[in-house]
Structure 1
Amino acid sequence: MPSLLQIIILAIVQGLAELLPVSSSAHVVVAEKLMRLDPSMPVLDPSSPAMTLLLVMLHTGTMFAVIAYFWKQWKFTYFKDALSFKRFAIRAAWATILTGLIGYPISKIIEKTVFRDAPKAQIEDLFSHLEWIAPALLAAGILIVIAGLMERRRMGDFKSVSGDGVTMRQAGWIGFIQGLCLPFRGFSRSGATISTGMLAGSSKERAERFSFALAVILTPPVVLRETLRLVKAVHGSPTGAAEIHAAFLTSLLGMVFAFLAGLVALKWLSSWLESGRWYLFGIYCIAASGFVFYLHTAGY
């Protein structure tokens, strides 16, 4: 089991990076490697019951942070009346369907090609490969910079004709790009979807609001999948139940820290969106891609 300090660090990294457009998975993978939690540097296997439980709790913490932060906005936009909810539900369903249609086949293609010699390989096996994370961060950074610079050049005049929400076309593009984010760690989901919404003509605020509503829709299936992995890991390990029991309280603490860090990240994100500094997140991602590539060449 990682130390309490390591859990707190991972929780803060997850909470901040999950809700900023900088790719939480890339940052968590790098943090794990730097703290020697990667399986190639075996202090602890990240697929063990204890680490799987921690991952579930961290995702749950950030999901609750999104709900707490955006609930008032959603209440007065998506849930203010039956028509508004219907419009939102149709667009969210359309975006989510496109996400699945794009993300699932790409994941399976990667599993059958990159890991064709490993029959039991899953897309998760790709997540710790820094040589894949670095270009994904670079791509996300370029997309964010383009959207940010276009927004500044147009003086923030991104107009949506859909009232309080995005249009079907904008929702479709957001869902499409979200599907590309699923199999590629480093290709920031929030960064890519908000930037895509802006480039498709949505205002920054509407793109942000819709992007994180989709995140809440996607998080329960992710948590469910990790929970199933947890159950499988427990049954496959003679000490699995004991690991879960020992890790529960510290994982719960990790969830709390992820929740608090998530709230800070969302407040920071919203203020930078409002002040026209969105492109700076892109510059950060580009710089981070260089650092990740350096770590890869250094043998991490």
Structure 2
Amino acid sequence: MITLNYFSVIILSIVQSLTEFLPISSSAHVIIFSKILNIVNNKNLQIFEIIIQLGSILAIIIIFWKKIIKIILNTIYYKNYNKKTINIFNIVISTLPVIFIGLIFYYKIIAINNIIYIIYGLFLGGMLLLISEIYKPKIYNIDNIDHISYDLNFIIGCFQCLALLPGVSRLGSTLSISLLLGIKRSVAINFCFIISIPVILSANLLELYKNYLIIDFNNFKILFIGFFISFIISLFIIKKFIYVINNISLIWFSIYRIFLILIILLNIN
């Protein structure tokens, strides 16, 4: 087994940024590729995963900055605006369930971060995508992000909890339930990306806080390279991948997941 080097940093950063914005689980792919590269799965690798994911989140914030500003303004002027416009309360309701469950079961979640549970997560996420594509309403009831009610926010937030299982995919679980709830696909995609920001930020900052004593600042250059690669690639592909998700059947992602499971099973020790 080896530790992180420049080659592995480049590969893992590319893998993470290319899979973060598709419903196929970036965390699963990073773990799988770290095993292919024969990298030690320790706290240093987990810190690296956090850093490169923060690069992707920064890209999301930049791409969606206008929508984020609108949400903030809608909250500040909540009494003056129509209360049906999206605001921070919608985001909070959508993120509280996963933060609550994540804090309670923190150590159990860390313990299941392995290949076996990734297989379970890939299968579960694939089934969600398949079911949502087959059974989604033919006519969408909600075609505007401002019309997503608080109760739907909570339901979507509960499905974010499934992403605590490695391999499920936060985007996959929230997009699947959004479609089943009758939310137009393009609206659901934007909403799912927006609500991912506070969840991923809070989860990663918590991890950094809990592990700051073991952060090796001698690896600052490696961490910065990973962050920079992830940020730049993410910045250029987000809109392209949103277009892909919006225009192809989710069944293809489900098929890909099954294919990935078969590859893992054929190569598992």
TM-score (norm 1): 0.78
Residues 1:69 and 2:68 aligned together = no
Structure 2 gaps of 5+ residues are none
Alignment match, 2:43: 47
Instruction: Supply the distance in 1 between the matched residues of 2:201 and 2:144 (Cα, whole angstroms).
Output: 28
Matched letter for residue 11 of structure 1: S
Mapped contact 1:22–1:285 kept (Cα < 8 A): yes
Mapped contact 2:21–2:242 kept (Cα < 8 A): no
Residues 1:175 and 2:174 aligned together = no
Matched letter for residue 31 of structure 1: F
1:11-53: CA deviation from partner (whole Å, max 9, x where unpaired): 11111212211111110110111111134xxxxxx213xx344
**What pairs up with 1:1-300 in 2 under 5 angstroms?**
1-39=3-41, 46-48=42-44, 51-75=45-69, 78-79=71-72, 81=74, 82-83=77-78, 87-105=86-104, 107=105, 122-128=108-114, 130-151=115-136, 154=138, 157-160=139-142, 164-182=146-164, 184-234=165-215, 243-245=216-218, 247-296=219-268, 299=269
Deviation, 1:180, is 2.2
Instruction: Supply the distance in 1 between the matched residues of 2:249 and 2:232 (Cα, whole angstroms).
Output: 23
Matched letter for residue 149 of structure 1: I
What SS is found at the alignment partner of 1:186?
coil
1:224-267: CA deviation from partner (whole Å, max 9, x where unpaired): 22222432325xxxxxxxx422x111211111111123234422
Mapped contact 1:16–1:264 kept (Cα < 8 A): no
What SS is found at the alignment partner of 2:182?
coil
TM-score (norm 2): 0.86
Matched letter for residue 143 of structure 1: L
Matched letter for residue 26 of structure 2: S
Aligned residues: 261
Deviation, 1:203, is 1.2
Matched letter for residue 154 of structure 2: G
CA RMSD of aligned residues (A): 2.5
Question: Measured at CA, do residues 226 and 64 of structure 1 come closer, stay the same or move farther in structure 2, by a change above 3 Å?
Answer: same
Mapped contact 1:58–1:254 kept (Cα < 8 A): yes
Structure 1 gaps of 5+ residues are 40-45, 112-121, 235-242
Matched letter for residue 117 of structure 2: W
Deviation, 1:142, is 1.4
Mapped contact 1:161–1:167 kept (Cα < 8 A): no
Instruction: Supply the distance in 2 between the matched residues of 1:163 and 1:260 (Cα, whole angstroms).
Output: 28
Matched letter for residue 244 of structure 1: F
Question: Measured at CA, do residues 88 and 292 of structure 1 come closer, stay the same or move farther in structure 2, by a change above 3 Å?
Answer: farther
Alignment match, 1:115: none
Deviation, 1:54, is 2.1
What SS is found at the alignment partner of 2:146?
coil
Instruction: Supply the distance in 1 between the matched residues of 2:171 and 2:152 (Cα, whole angstroms).
Output: 15
Deviation, 1:198, is 0.9
Instruction: Supply the distance in 2 between the matched residues of 1:251 and 1:265 (Cα, whole angstroms).
Output: 21
